[in-house]
């Protein structure tokens, strides 16, 4: 069980960390007894993983997030259960970390308790987002995040999309961009994310990395 | 990179301002609009002549806007409800001195500190009671991230054309949601020259930027001049969208995010045989009175839906002018009406 117990998802604002964290937690819960999702997003006040609490509870994933009235607060409130979760060696953990270096400072607070032997750090990239369309932009954000968290990024997560308007070509071209970024930075891609709506329209044999199917949980109020 | 970029409303407004040649931003952080100044802080220092400055307070920020606008710069500030209240005095000065500036309000629940979830309860403030004195802001209310981009770019042109502050108003959802956007060049090429700015009076008479007029005769004339400007704006700048109005018996009037929810509700209601359409004001000032008044000759009743306890509904009633009943449905304090709730209201209105 090397580098697999604690899975940290980080990235720039709006890269897709939260949806991926939720889906990853649900997938782990299908194979493991004790899965905990730590919502470390102290930056973004809307569309946080704590909002998908119900499907996660049904799958027996424990969501570690500020409780009660603090759910809607824009406060850097970190519940003490986070430390307990890190130290519970029988559990699998997913960290959903807030955007950019500001969000990552919260992760840095737990650095001393995170054992690199059992921890992997994943940097989620959507090349269709501002600032992370090329290796220079990605490098700048990764440097900030590594500095704030005092952890090294192990993998890139390729998440090319345009939200509800994603077309097959956006996935193919975006992933190509990611492969170039990966090569230039020398950081491997862990998997390519494709939404449930798009998965049947894409020829999966085209890709040399594993594909991760994403079910979207965050919805606009008119959807 | 493909032509479209996936952006949060807050980021997209910031990028749109930069594309509209706004190189100066002064602000103070507040949720839920923080991505806007954060984006400006990342981008503006890399642009030649660009200035991002986090002021010590909202009051300082709006007065920096006053100064930059007086010197002829395209300038923006952004905030959310309580922060806009703090900026109110400065906005009145900017309007009084007839300076072009763009002010963004990503509205959260109020009053007071309220909450951080989306609301539309600053309608009165934006369109009527922003601050002291006889003045108006032009108020633009996007209902998608793309429209936020287009209206922000246009806001600078409107501000320059009329020498008047323009507000882009969105609820928290508009600021926080992500949608793909593109940046089209829609800049006007017939804007008046800024020959009134204070940029060093070398070889010409000095210009004065001021909102103080101690002679009441002068101040009255200034107020009538502003009034003529607002009448001109009312004549030229009204924007609205209508949908499904051709055979409508009920008209929903809603703006921003609420209008999008209403569109879903209209689909569901029409599937159940309720003939309902939408009038969506895009400019809140000037308010699209005429289209609403004309619709009153066609429909049996109106339903205004807002994320407030009822603000825009007063303007709808003024526009309808008693011709037909105007009902209201609202959620407030950060609660969002659902399409199902609106369908329920439509059934009640139909009777």
The C-alpha atoms of residue B336 and residue A98 are separated, in whole angstroms, by: 25
- On the question of a cis peptide bond just before residue B32, with omega within 30 degrees of 0, the verdict is yes
Number of Cβ atoms within 10 Å of the Cβ of A73: 15
**Å from A23 to nearest chain B CA?**
19
pLDDT over 90 at A77, yes or no: no
Contact B124, B271 (CB under 8 A): no
Contact list in B for residue A170 (CB cut-off 8 A) is 2
Strand partners, B76: B25, B102
The C-alpha atoms of residue A10 and residue B306 are separated, in whole angstroms, by: 36
Q: What angle do CA B104, B261, B284 make, to 5 degrees?
A: 40
> Which is more confidently placed, B300 or A48?
B300
> Which is more confidently placed, A14 or A158?
A158
- Average pLDDT, rounded, for chain B: 97
B351: pLDDT confidence band, cut at 50, 70 and 90?
confident
The C-alpha atoms of residue B22 and residue B15 are separated, in whole angstroms, by: 9
Domain segments of chain B: what residues?
5-193+211-236, 241-350
Contact B281, B141 (CB under 8 A): yes
- On the question of a cis peptide bond just before residue B111, with omega within 30 degrees of 0, the verdict is yes
pLDDT over 70 at A44, yes or no: no
Rounded mean pLDDT of A135-162? Answer: 94
- The CATH classification of domain B241-350, taken from the options 3.40.50.2000, 3.40.50.2020, 3.60.110.10, 3.40.50.920: 3.40.50.920
Number of Cβ atoms within 10 Å of the Cβ of A32: 14
Number of Cβ atoms within 10 Å of the Cβ of A203: 8
pLDDT digit string (tens) for B29-48?
A: 999 999 999 999 999 999 99
**Å from B136 to nearest chain A CA?**
32
Contact list in B for residue A133 (CB cut-off 8 A) is 1
Rounded mean pLDDT of A26-54? Answer: 82
Helices marked H in A41-167 — which ranges?
A: 53-58, 81-87, 100-108, 135-149
Q: Does B261 touch chain A (CB under 8 A)?
A: yes
DSSP string, B309-343: SSSHHHHHHHHHTTSS-EEEEE--TT----HHHHH
Contact B299, B249 (CB under 8 A): yes
Contact list in B for residue A222 (CB cut-off 8 A) is 257, 260-261, 263-264, 339
Contact A118, A6 (CB under 8 A): yes
CB-nearest partner of A133 from B1, B31, B39:
B1
B129: pLDDT confidence band, cut at 50, 70 and 90?
confident
Contact B23, B194 (CB under 8 A): no
Strand partners, B156: none
pLDDT digit string (tens) for A168-202?
A: 999 999 999 999 999 999 999 999 999 999 999 99
pLDDT at A2: 61
The C-alpha atoms of residue B125 and residue B139 are separated, in whole angstroms, by: 11
B1: pLDDT confidence band, cut at 50, 70 and 90?
very low
The C-alpha atoms of residue A161 and residue A24 are separated, in whole angstroms, by: 18
Question: Which residues 266-325 of B have a C-beta within 8 angstroms of A?
Answer: none
State ipTM: 0.88
Rounded mean pLDDT of A48-54? Answer: 73
pLDDT over 90 at B137, yes or no: yes
Rounded mean pLDDT of B283-304? Answer: 98
Question: CA separation (Å) from B83 to B32, B48, B159?
Answer: 11, 29, 21
pLDDT at A170: 95
CB contact under 8 A, B116 and A44: no
Question: CA separation (Å) from B320 to A62, A218, B90, B325, B328?
Answer: 53, 38, 34, 8, 14
pLDDT over 50 at A54, yes or no: yes
pLDDT over 80 at A67, yes or no: no
Element containing residue B271 per DSSP (H, E): helix B256-271
- Average pLDDT, rounded, for chain A: 89
Element containing residue B297 per DSSP (H, E): none
Query: For the domain bounded by B5-193+211-236, which CATH number is listed?
Result: 3.40.50.970
Contact B164, B233 (CB under 8 A): yes
pLDDT digit string (tens) for B166-189?
A: 999 999 999 999 999 999 877 899
pLDDT at B214: 97
pLDDT over 90 at A42, yes or no: no
pLDDT at A9: 95
**Å from B69 to nearest chain A CA?**
28
The C-alpha atoms of residue A32 and residue A209 are separated, in whole angstroms, by: 24
Q: Does B179 touch chain A (CB under 8 A)?
A: yes
**Å from A4 to nearest chain B CA?**
31
Q: HSE (CB half, 13 Å, CA atoms) of A39?
A: 29
Contact B161, B189 (CB under 8 A): no
Number of Cβ atoms within 10 Å of the Cβ of B92: 18
Distance between the two ends of chain A, CA-based, in angstroms?
40
Q: Do domains B5-193+211-236 and B241-350 have the same CATH topology?
A: yes
> Which is more confidently placed, A71 or A142?
A142
> Which is more confidently placed, A101 or B51?
B51
The C-alpha atoms of residue B98 and residue B213 are separated, in whole angstroms, by: 13
- On the question of a cis peptide bond just before residue B286, with omega within 30 degrees of 0, the verdict is yes
* Cβ contacts from A onto B, under 8 A: 85
Q: In what order do the strands lie in the sheet with B165-171?
A: B51-54, B24-27, B75-79, B101-107, B165-171, B138-140, B283-285
Q: Does A177 touch chain B (CB under 8 A)?
A: yes
Q: Does B260 touch chain A (CB under 8 A)?
A: yes
pLDDT digit string (tens) for B144-164?
A: 999 999 999 999 999 999 999
Helix/strand/coil (H/E/C) assignment for every residue in A5-74: CEEEEEECCCCCHHHHHHHHHHHHHHHCCCEEEEEECCCCCCCCHHHHHHHHHHCCEEEECCCHHHHHCC
Indicate the pairing of strand A119-125 with strand A35-40.
unpaired
B18: pLDDT confidence band, cut at 50, 70 and 90?
very high
A1: pLDDT confidence band, cut at 50, 70 and 90?
very low
All domains of chain A in start order, with CATH = 6-214 (3.40.50.300)
Q: Does A126 touch chain B (CB under 8 A)?
A: yes
Rounded mean pLDDT of A97-123? Answer: 87
Helix axes B35-43, B9-19, angle to 10 degrees: 40
Question: CA separation (Å) from B286 to A207, B126, B163, B195, B230?
Answer: 53, 11, 16, 27, 8
CB contact under 8 A, B176 and A162: no
**Å from A43 to nearest chain B CA?**
9
The C-alpha atoms of residue A87 and residue A97 are separated, in whole angstroms, by: 18
Question: Which residues 314-343 of B have a C-beta within 8 angstroms of A?
Answer: 334, 336-339
Residue of A nearest to B175 (CA): A46
pLDDT at A68: 61
pLDDT over 50 at B2, yes or no: no
The C-alpha atoms of residue B347 and residue A54 are separated, in whole angstroms, by: 31
Q: Which two tokens stand for residue B266?
A: 């209209």
Helix, strand, coil tally for chain A in percent (to 5): 40, 20, 40
Contact A99, A108 (CB under 8 A): no
pLDDT over 90 at B165, yes or no: yes
């Amino acid at each position: 069980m090397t580098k697999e117990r604690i899975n940290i998802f980080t990235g720039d604002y709006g890269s897709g960390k939260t949806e991926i964290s939720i889906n990853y937690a649900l997938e782990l819960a299908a194979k493991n007894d004790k899965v905990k999702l730590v919502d470390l997003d102290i930056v973004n006040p809307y569309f946080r993983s704590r909002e998908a609490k119900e499907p996660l509870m049904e799958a027996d994933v424990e969501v570690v997030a500020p409780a009660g009235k603090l759910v809607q607060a824009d406060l850097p409130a970190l519940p003490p259960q986070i430390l307990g979760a890190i130290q519970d060696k029988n559990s699998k953990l997913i960290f959903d970390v807030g955007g950019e270096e500001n969000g990552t400072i919260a992760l840095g607070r737990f650095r001393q308790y995170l054992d690199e032997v059992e921890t992997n750090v994943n940097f989620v990239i959507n090349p269709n987002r501002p600032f992370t369309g090329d290796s220079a932009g990605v490098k700048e954000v990764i440097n900030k995040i590594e500095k704030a968290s005092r952890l090294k990024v192990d993998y890139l997560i390729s998440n090319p999309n345009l939200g509800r308007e994603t077309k097959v070509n956006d996935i193919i071209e975006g992933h190509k961009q990611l492969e170039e970024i990966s090569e230039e930075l020398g950081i491997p891609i862990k998997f390519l994310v494709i939404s449930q709506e798009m998965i049947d329209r894409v020829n999966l044999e085209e890709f040399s990395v594993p594909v991760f199917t994403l079910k979207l949980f965050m919805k606009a109020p008119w959807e | 990179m493909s032509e479209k970029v996936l952006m949060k409303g807050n980021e997209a407004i910031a990028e749109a301002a930069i594309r509209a040649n706004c190189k100066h931003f002064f602000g103070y952080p507040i949720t839920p609009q923080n991505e806007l100044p954060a984006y400006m802080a990342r981008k503006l220092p890399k642009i030649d002549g660009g200035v991002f400055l986090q002021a010590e307070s909202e009051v300082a920020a709006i007065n920096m806007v006053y100064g930059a606008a007086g010197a002829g710069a395209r300038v923006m500030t952004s905030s959310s409800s309580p922060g806009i209240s703090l900026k109110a005095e400065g906005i009145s000065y900017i309007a009084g001195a007839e300076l072009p500036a763009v002010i963004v309000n990503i509205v959260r629940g109020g009053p007071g500190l309220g909450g951080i979830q989306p609301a539309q309860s600053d309608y009165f403030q934006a369109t009527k009671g922003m601050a002291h004195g006889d003045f108006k802001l032009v108020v633009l209310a996007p209902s998608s991230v793309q429209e936020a981009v287009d209206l922000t770019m246009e806001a600078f042109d409107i501000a320059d054309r009329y020498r008047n502050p323009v507000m882009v108003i969105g609820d928290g959802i508009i600021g926080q949601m992500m949608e793909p956007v593109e940046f089209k060049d829609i800049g006007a090429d017939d804007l008046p020259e800024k020959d009134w700015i204070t940029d060093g009076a070398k070889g010409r008479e000095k210009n004065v930027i001021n909102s103080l007029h101690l002679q009441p005769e002068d101040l009255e004339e200034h107020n009538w001049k502003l009034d003529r400007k607002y009448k001109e704006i009312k004549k030229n700048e009204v924007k609205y969208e209508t949908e499904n109005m051709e055979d409508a018996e009920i008209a929903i009037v809603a703006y921003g995010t609420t209008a999008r929810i209403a569109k879903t509700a209209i689909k569901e209601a029409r599937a159940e045989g309720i003939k309902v359409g939408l009038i969506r004001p895009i400019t809140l000032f000037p308010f699209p009175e005429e289209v609403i008044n004309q619709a009153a000759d066609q429909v049996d009743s109106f339903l205004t839906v807002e994320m407030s306890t009822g603000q825009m509904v007063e303007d709808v009633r003024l526009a309808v002018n008693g011709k037909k009943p105007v009902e209201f449905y609202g959620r407030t304090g950060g609660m969002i009406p659902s399409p199902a709730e609106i369908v329920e209201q439509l059934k009640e209105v139909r009777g």
